[in-house]
Amino acid sequence: MIGVVSNPNQSAVVKEFFELFKTPWEFYCPAQVYDVVLVSADQVPEVKAKLLIVCGAGTKSIDARIGTVAGERQHGAILSDENLTLPVFGCLQKLAKTNDGTALVMTGTEIAGVKIKAGNCTVIRLGYDLFDEVQVLLTAGQPIENAHIPTLEIHIKMLRNWILGEGIPLLEIPPAPSGHSFTVCLTHDIDFVGIRNHKFDHTMWGFLYRSTIGAIRKFLRGRLRLAHLFATWRAAASLPFVYLGWLRDFWEPFAWYLAAEEGLPATYFLIPFKGRAGERVAGLHASRRAAAYDLNDISQWIAPLKAAGCELGVHGIDAWHSVEKGRAELARIKEISGEPNVGVRMHWLLQDANSVSVLERSGYAYDSTVGYNETIGYRAGTSQVFRPFGAKKILELPLHIQDGAMFYPQRLNLSEQEAAKRCHALIDNANKFGGVLTIIWHDRSHAPERFWGDFYVRLIQEIKSFGPWFTTASQAVGWFQKRRDVRFERLVGDTGVRAISDSAGTEWALPLNLRVYWPSEKSHGRPSSPPPVFKDLPWDGMNAFEFSPTSNPCLNCS
């Protein structure tokens, strides 16, 4: 059991952090015994724990006793713990001097964290506040230059390493279902359902330019294959016959995605109303946000999509700022989907500080708007589903890989080789840390003039080789809710804990894993140390699970 002593205004972020690092913890009680005590408050209590972690800039009451002397302060830094890189965004207090301590975390050549032996207790003094950093990640998010770093997962890994490095057993529920190392959500934002709806508007003229003059330029720069150059010319030439209904609409998305994702469920976010650009939309081209299709135009695809296990969500217009309009948009999608729980992703990823509260009051089951338009990666520093601050029920499914962010000339403008390299890094992180890898591939990205479909198929095949759980957004969020429903209780008369699920008896898509770490020998808590021994026990929540550091874990059927 970890005891936490935080500042009074940090209770919400502490609770959310330990939903992501799902391990037994409680706010510190002087009458209880802890193996680990984690302190962000200025006043550090006298404890008998094996490991005391004190974090935060400024003077702490323990500093004089352990011999740490504060150095220069700065706002934001890049830290390193051997082969881990960790950006911090708040105040960092460098440590100018330590007595008999071992440097644990560095910023350049200066110390940002130190480990000190104090009698039978190991003290780790960090110059940054863990909980303040988590709050920044889950609210403002990371700047684009840090997008590639799963910062929150690294915070968790470092804390886990330090605990296990002191030979302390640990119970954890990792953020991936039993039998899989991570989860994947394939999602599609449906802004267009065909070019047939666009006659003599900016979309049609833009397509004709990009498929003729623009295509030649891309070909000459080596960014378009010869076969695709001819294909885009053919598409442009066929446009009159598409309008007449004599030829297939090459922008129609559903048949292509059902074939490319055969056997894999996907989530389609549909714009609920035709011709509504939305309110409070900034920019010169705000009117272009309006969709040219009506849901009745695609009614024939609803049954095939649902038969394939796919999910329909709201691609919201004004739901991010208006409860009334959010409810209307939700009702429109519920009408065609027939599902009671429907999620949302805002068109153009619009949101503000009040959006989560608005979406929750509107009745959405989840949101999947937190991500970047300009790049790919971890805006919230994590691939885990989390509860945004200020929300009571709604959960956030962050997004990570977006086709347009990678390939648009105005954004990253990556070659396919460069994009594959960046995607591989995110896949590798998902395999190591768990969570949900959420991918957006837009409606017409497979078609002329983009031709991003082949890349998408290869991306899916690479992901498949890791054996993840492919599922819809609702199911992924539901699984994480089951994980959140687990609570830990102390065993009476023992130092162990009991895991109990508050959702026992309800249907679980896949079991959780109860991961039990038994450090075979004391290490230094560094990433380069041999990986600790652990055992995964699949658990469906039906029976209580008891874990004691003095005995083997067991499922209690009583």
Q: pLDDT of the chain along its 558 residues, tens only?
A: 999 999 999 999 999 999 999 999 999 999 999 999 999 999 999 998 999 999 999 899 999 888 888 889 999 999 998 788 999 999 999 987 666 788 899 899 999 999 998 888 999 999 999 999 999 999 999 999 999 999 999 999 999 999 999 999 999 999 999 999 999 999 999 999 999 999 999 999 999 999 999 999 989 988 889 999 999 999 999 999 999 999 999 999 999 999 999 999 999 999 999 999 999 998 888 989 999 999 999 999 999 999 999 999 999 999 999 999 999 999 999 999 999 999 999 999 999 999 999 999 999 999 999 999 999 999 999 999 999 998 999 999 999 999 999 999 999 999 999 999 999 999 999 999 999 999 999 999 999 999 999 999 999 999 999 999 999 999 999 999 999 999 999 987 767 899 999 988 788 889 999 999 987 554 444 545 566 788 999 999 888 888 887 665 555 533
Q: Which two tokens mark 502? A: 């508050």
> Is residue 301 a part of any domain in this protein?
yes
Counted domains in the chain: 3
Is residue 518 in some structural domain? no
Give the domain CATH number at 154. 3.40.50.880
Say if residue 82 is in the same domain as residue 124: yes
185 within 8 A of 437, measured Cβ to Cβ = yes
The 3-state DSSP class for residue 340 equals: coil
Q: What is the DSSP letter of 489?
A: E
Say yes or no: 334 and 427 in one domain.
Answer: yes
Domain of residue 227, residue span: 195-250
97 within some domain = yes
* Domain end point (choices 453, 478, 503): 478
In a domain, 490, yes or no: no
User: Which of 439, 455, 478 is the C-terminal boundary of a domain?
Assistant: 478
Residue 318 and residue 447 in one domain:
yes
Distance CA 422, CA 165 (A): 32
Strand partners, 69: 97
The strand pairing partners of 528, in sequence order, are: none
Is 203 among the domain residues? Answer: yes
* Cβ–Cβ < 8 Å for 154, 86: yes
Say if 544 falls within a structural domain: no
The secondary element (H helix, E strand) that includes residue 85 is strand 84-97
Does residue 263 share a domain with residue 388? yes
d(CA 457, CA 441) in angstroms, rounded, equals: 11
Q: Tell me, what CATH number does 317's domain have?
A: 3.20.20.370
Domain boundary pick from 443, 478, 513: 478
SS3 category, 48: coil
Residue 417: Cβ within 10 Å count: 7
Burial of 365 (0-12, 13-18, 19+ CB in 10 A): buried
Shared domain check, 221 and 268: no
Q: Does residue 553 fall inside a structural domain?
A: no
Residues 156 and 203 occupy one common structural domain: no
Q: 299-307 vs 323-337: helix axis angle to the nearest 10?
A: 70
**What residues are paired with 91 via a beta bridge?**
75
Asked if 311 and 399 sit in the same domain, the reply is: yes
Residues 313 and 429 placed together within one structural domain of the fold: yes
pTM, rounded to two decimals: 0.94
State whether 329 and 190 are in the same domain. yes
558 within some domain:
no
Query: What span, in angstroms and rounded, lies between the C-alpha atoms of 446 and 270?
Result: 18
Pairing status of strand 170-172 against strand 512-517? antiparallel
Same domain, 245 and 294: no
Same domain, 313 and 416: yes
Residues 301 and 167 in one domain: no
